[in-house]
């Protein structure tokens, strides 16, 4: 089954195919675009994402046998386990579960632990059937995974009456991704998906988890966010992401701090003396990227969105040259968008593929999209998917 009408319609139809019944309700959560602040989250730093108008929808119904069954438009083969067996599956036996199903099942597992921590015995928790559908592109750097986690966590939190906060649900999503899936990501994606608001970004301190909603003002400034999905798929559970994280941890240890968040740009001269070139460049990216996030929020508040273009450009250069996570396709998308008049452009997401973004005048969107498609064709690359996104609401119940 493939998505056709809308995620909610697809989830409803898939649920009916699975159970022959109508779901008890629908919950949804968005993907996200990270405006600036890449690979800073797991270094206890600062990020500035916003939720997008692409969403994953969960259709959920109860069952009386203490089991959880999940199915999705990604894979129509249902996966079913006993809720009581989740503790034996994750994390040690996660490879026995097909990867897409580890996200919703991992969330259920993490929420059971959260219930225990809150003094709730998870044994009586109601069994569930879950059907998932999404229009967030998979592997595009827009966090389709956090959308699954947010929708599932919101649904189960309501069904099971856990009363967990949005931040607690984001933590459960991160734990699912880290331990049930095996992807060493930070918490930015889950927080953006849970806390998003229309026409606003989430300025997040990843150490304290303090979140500040900041007006973006894109519409008033006549600007759009143009996304270029290069169709070069990435996977955070593979080696490149983990290697970058290990280099950051190594750099923090060399500098005698608990995380790179504790360094400022003035510390980089000393870091250069103590580290090999690769580790230093990884550290330099994170330290300067943290500063770019702080500068972007300050400029947005003081001068508006047109003032942040140079910071977006500098962020891409740092990811390309210091963190080395860009690709030829991402670089071409960024360069072409700038040539077409973008205020600023950068790759977004974990890298090694995925998407770029460009902040661009609404009147230039169609021309820029056409130029990017033509440039990819001339380079012999796969045709990209080019579209706009809008800052939108976070996780919610839809019916």
Q: What are phi and psi of 215, to 5 degrees?
A: -60, 135
Which residue matches tokens 């919703």? 104
What is the spatial distance between Cα 214 and Cα 36, in angstroms, rounded to a whole number? 13
What is the spatial distance between Cα 21 and Cα 15, in angstroms, rounded to a whole number? 7
Q: What are phi and psi of 172, to 5 degrees?
A: -65, -40
Q: Is the peptide bond before 91 cis (omega within 30 degrees of 0)?
A: yes
Closest CA to 31 of 107, 140, 175: 140
Instruction: Identify the H or E element spanning 356.
Output: strand 355-361
- Specify the long-range contacts of residues 331-339, CB closer than 8 Å, at least 24 apart: 332/372, 332/375, 332/376, 332/379, 332/381, 333/228, 333/230, 333/358, 333/372, 333/376, 333/384, 334/358, 336/368, 336/371, 336/372, 336/375, 337/226, 337/228, 337/368, 337/372, 338/313, 339/371
What is the spatial distance between Cα 177 and Cα 338, in angstroms, rounded to a whole number? 34
What is the spatial distance between Cα 226 and Cα 371, in angstroms, rounded to a whole number? 13
Closest CA to 346 of 314, 301, 375: 314
The DSSP letter of residue 122 is S
Catalytic residues: 189
Concatenated DSSP letters for 184-246?
Answer: ---SHHHHHHHH--TTEEEEEETTT--EEEEE--TTTTTEEEEEEE------TTSHHHHHHHH
Instruction: Identify the H or E element spanning 62.
Output: strand 46-63
């Amino acid at each position: 089954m493939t998505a056709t009408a809308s995620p909610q319609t697809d989830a409803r139809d898939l649920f009916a195919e699975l159970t022959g019944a109508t779901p008890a309700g629908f919950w949804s959560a968005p993907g996200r675009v990270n405006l600036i602040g890449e690979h800073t989250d797991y270094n206890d730093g600062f990020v500035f994402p916003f939720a997008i108008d692409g969403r994953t929808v969960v259709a959920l119904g109860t069952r009386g046998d203490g089991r959880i069954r999940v199915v999705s438009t990604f894979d129509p083969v249902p996966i079913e386990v006993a809720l009581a067996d989740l503790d034996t599956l994750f994390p040690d036996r996660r490879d026995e579960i097909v990867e897409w199903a580890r996200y919703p099942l991992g969330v259920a597992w993490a929420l059971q632990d959260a219930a225990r921590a809150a003094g709730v015995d998870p044994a009586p928790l109601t069994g569930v059937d879950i059907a998932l559908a999404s229009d967030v592109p998979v592997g595009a750097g827009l966090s389709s995974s956090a959308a699954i986690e947010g929708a599932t966590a919101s649904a189960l939190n309501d069904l099971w009456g856990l009363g967990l906060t949005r931040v607690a649900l984001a933590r459960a999503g991160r734990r699912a991704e880290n331990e049930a899936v095996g992807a060493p990501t930070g918490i930015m994606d889950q927080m953006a998906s849970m806390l998003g608001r229309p026409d606003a970004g989430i300025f997040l301190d990843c150490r304290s988890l303090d979140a500040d909603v900041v007006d973006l003002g894109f519409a008033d400034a006549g600007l759009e966010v143009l996304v270029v999905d290069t169709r070069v798929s990435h996977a955070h559970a593979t080696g490149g992401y983990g290697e970058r994280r290990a280099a950051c941890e190594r750099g923090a240890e060399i500098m005698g701090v608990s995380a790179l968040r504790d360094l400022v740009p003035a510390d980089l001269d000393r870091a250069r003396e103590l580290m090999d070139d690769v580790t230093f460049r990884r550290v330099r990216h994170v330290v300067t990227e943290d500063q770019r996030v702080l500068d972007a929020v300050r400029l947005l508040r003081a001068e508006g969105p047109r003032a942040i273009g140079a910071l977006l450009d500098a962020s891409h250069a740092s990811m390309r040259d210091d963190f080395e996570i860009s690709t030829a396709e991402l670089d071409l998308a960024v360069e072409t968008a700038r040539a077409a008049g973008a205020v600023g452009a950068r790759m977004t997401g974990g890298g090694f593929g995925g998407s770029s973004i460009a902040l661009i005048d609404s009147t230039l969107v169609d021309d820029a999209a056409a130029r990017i498609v033509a440039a990819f064709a001339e380079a012999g690359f796969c045709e990209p998917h080019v579209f706009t996104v809008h800052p939108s609401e976070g996780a919610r119940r839809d019916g």
